[in-house]
Amino acid sequence: MVQVLAARDGRVSYKINQDDVTIGEMSSRLNSILSLRADRVLFIKADSGLDFSAVAKVMDIGKGAGADRVALITPRDGV
């Protein structure tokens, strides 16, 4: 799972599973992970309030790294 996180100062940070990654490292890291999976689904969880372009960039990188499908994880209603 890729997490797209918003900092208070407006910067965006990223995690793959629990590991911090830069946007520059993301493609190779995802390629390594996805190449080992039969089901090549990329899950993305993003902080609310982020500009969607930050999420779209991760989606694009994931597709380029071999993801067949992208799933967005959203908060549950009422939680």
Q: What is the pLDDT of residues 9-34, one digit of tens each?
A: 889 999 999 999 999 999 999 999 99
Task: Give the model confidence (pLDDT) of 42-66 as tens digits.
Answer: 999 999 888 899 999 999 999 999 9
The span from the CA of 72 to the CA of 77, in Å, is: 15
> Is the CATH number 3.30.420.270 carried by domain 2-73?
yes
Its pTM stands at: 0.88
The band of 69, judged by pLDDT with boundaries at 50, 70 and 90, is very high
Where do the domains of the chain lie? 2-73
Q: Is the pLDDT of residue 77 over 70?
A: no
The pLDDT score that the predictor gives to residue 10 is: 84
